[in-house]
Structures are given as C-alpha cells and as structure tokens.
Amino acid sequence: MTNEVPYIAGLRSVASLYDAFIVDLWGVIYEEQRLCVGVFNALSQLSDAGKQVIFLSNTATRSAQTAKKLERMGIKRYQYRGVLTSGEIIYHELRARTDPFFANLQRRCFHLGPEKYWQSFADLGYIVVKNIDEADFILLTGTFGTQDTLSKYEPFFKACLSRRLPMICACPDSFVLKDGVPHLAAGAIAAQYQSMGGSVFWHGKPETAVFEYCVSGFDVSDKSRVAVIGDSLTADIQGANKAGLDALFIAGGIHAKELGISRGQQPAPERVASLFARHDCTARAVLPAFVW
C-alpha cells in the first residue's frame, strides 16, 4: 500500500468529497468523560452541511448507554445518525444464541472486567459466578486501571485453559487513551488468551461486517461517498481499508506518542509513512484531530 498520505488541517478540506462518515469515539470524539477540543464545532459544521454521521466504537457498553454518555458531554442527537458498539453486538449474540459459538453455551459466566460493564448484559439471565471452577465461559469487558499488565493474567488463564473455557470479548481494542497515554485494554487480554490456546469470540472493528452495517444505515447509494474517521490504525484504518472505504486518520490519538506529537500538532511525514508501513495500511488524509 502507498504510505504517502497528505496532511490536512481539518475536515473542511475534505467534507465536500463525502456524504457520510463512520466515526470512532474514544480518542477522536472524547477521552474519559470529556469531549476533545473542536469536536462540537466539527459535528455542528457537518450537520449544517447535511452530512450523516454514525459513531462506531469498540466499547463494551451498549449503544443506548453510549448515546447517553454523548448527551451528557454535550453532543446533540441531531448531530449524528446512530451509534454501534461492540458491546451492543455481543449483547445480541448472547441473547439470540444462533452463532455456533454461543449455541452451546451454558448459563454460568465469569465476568472479567469492571462491574459497571456487566450492567450492559445483566438482563440476559446469565448467572455470574465468582469461582472460575463454576464457570461455563468468560465474558471479558475491560481491564482494571492504568497499572494493569498482561503478565498479571497468565496464572488465571492457565486455570481457564485447564477447563477449556471459551471467552467472549466485548471490547476488541488492545489499547485505550487515558490522559493522552495508551493503556492496556480488553483486546490485548483476549489476544493473550487466544495465543495461549484459548477459544475467543469477538465482533467489532476492524471486521468488515461492522463497517458494512454502518454503511447500510446511511442514505447513501455510492460507497465512495462514505469515509471512516479514526485514530487506531489496527481498528479504524485497517478496517476501512478492508471494507473498501476511504480512511481519515486522526494523528493526535492513540498513535500520537509514536508520532512524537501532542493532539493538534502536525506529525512529520516520514513518521506517518513509517507507521503506516508497519501496519500495512493507508489513508486518504491525516488530520491533527477531529476539527473543522
């Protein structure tokens, strides 16, 4: 893939090329409980121009919960068309149980993640157990603080593997930004379990199906008029490439440290080229942040 990606100062430079945008949340629209600088204005400009926006996130929370979070931070419902989260996808898989991975699952679940994330799945009738010896499967939703490490989970996973417990990962991201610093996320934990021989189910970015589902939610007949905006090369940009969609890369997000910049700064072209080459992906343009 070509790694010569032009830098643009904001969305105004490319907005006319597209009718709709699939936009990442954490690291692009917000971090923790605060909007990133310039986001509200950018969304307002897109809305005023008649552009459609769907937020696509690898969070373990459900879509409606995420929409409420956006509302609390000041994002208006008219500024976007919808929200799709990996947590929403996993919720429906656990409820429908039509996928072969889920069809034979029993009801006893060991929840691995902060308690707040279990609330997304609490009404499904699964029984949470505290002892791994009583569990039928593991539901992984998140990590425990910024000091979490992969090595911490090895003894636990060895016990899980001895019982051949399947794992469901509701958050495929490997890292998440906290105060501008990347920290371990659930996807890295799931990948470790899988590398040790565990059976893992996950749905979300960068799978082509989730991008295609979002495209189907737009009133757009030409796929070339849809762009993906994200800060993760492995989730957003690679996912867009695989789905045949243009990608707009936010440099001041999860890869900012690798690029040697802070949010809002322009990265050196050679650093961008090297980063894209390592991940074998490309983008239509590089932006400093989600700004107009």
86-96 helix and 63-72 helix, angle to the nearest 10 degrees: 150
Instruction: Tell me the one-letter amino acid at 5.
Output: V
Do residues 220 and 226 lie in contact, with contact meaning Cβ atoms separated by under 8 Å?
Answer: yes
pLDDT of residue 1: 46
Across the range 184-204, mean pLDDT stands at: 95
Across the range 124-147, mean pLDDT stands at: 94
Confidence of residue 146 (pLDDT cuts 50, 70, 90): confident
pLDDT of residue 178: 80
Across the range 10-15, mean pLDDT stands at: 98
Q: How far apart are CA 256 and CA 278, in angstroms?
A: 15
Mean pLDDT over the full length of the chain: 94
- 136-151 as b/e: b if 16+ CB within 10 A: bbbbbbbbeeeeeeee
pLDDT of residue 3: 53
248 forms beta bridges with 229, 285
Segment (H or E) for 266: none
Compute φ and ψ for 57, nearest 5 degrees: -135, 145
Q: How far apart are CA 128 and CA 131, in angstroms?
A: 9
pLDDT of residue 2: 46
63 has pLDDT over 60: yes
Residue 114: asked if its preceding bond is cis (omega within 30°), the reply is no
- 93-127 as b/e: b if 16+ CB within 10 A: bbeeeeeeebeebeeebbbbbeeebbebbeeeebe
261 has pLDDT over 70: yes
- Domains for the chain: give ranges and CATH numbers: 110-202 (3.40.50.1000)
Tokens at residue 16, please? Answer: 């006319």
Q: How far apart are CA 140 and CA 187, in angstroms?
A: 9
Instruction: Tell me the one-letter amino acid at 206.
Output: P
Percent of the chain with pLDDT over 70: 99
Compute φ and ψ for 158, nearest 5 degrees: -65, -40
Percent of the chain with pLDDT over 90: 91
138 has pLDDT over 90: yes
Alpha-carbon distances of 51 from 19, 43, 48, 162, 218, rounded to whole Å: 5, 9, 8, 52, 10
If one compares 126 and 31, the residue with the highest pLDDT of the two is 126
